[in-house]
Amino acid sequence: MSKTLIKMYYRMGIYSDADLDTFVEAGYISEEEAKELKAK
């Protein structure tokens, strides 16, 4: 899974905060990247 796609889909509302947590656990994005997305 591409970091760019995760970020784009999150901003579009396709992924939720819970999805971001799953991606962090799977190693697709870092904890810091997830926090930055949630803050926006």
Q: Which domain holds residue 34?
A: 3-39
d(C-alpha 27, C-alpha 40), whole Å:
21
- Give the per-residue pLDDT at 1: 81
State the sign of the Cα–Cα–Cα–Cα dihedral 27, 30, 35, 37. negative
For Cα atoms 17, 28, 15, give the angle at the middle one, nearest 5 degrees: 30
Give the global pTM: 0.86
- Give the per-residue pLDDT at 26: 97
Q: Is the pLDDT of residue 40 over 90?
A: no
Over the chain, what is the mean pLDDT? 95
Q: Looking at residues 3-32, what average pLDDT do you find?
A: 96
- State how many domains the chain has: 1
Measure Cα distances from 30 to 9, 12, 39 in Å.
16, 20, 14
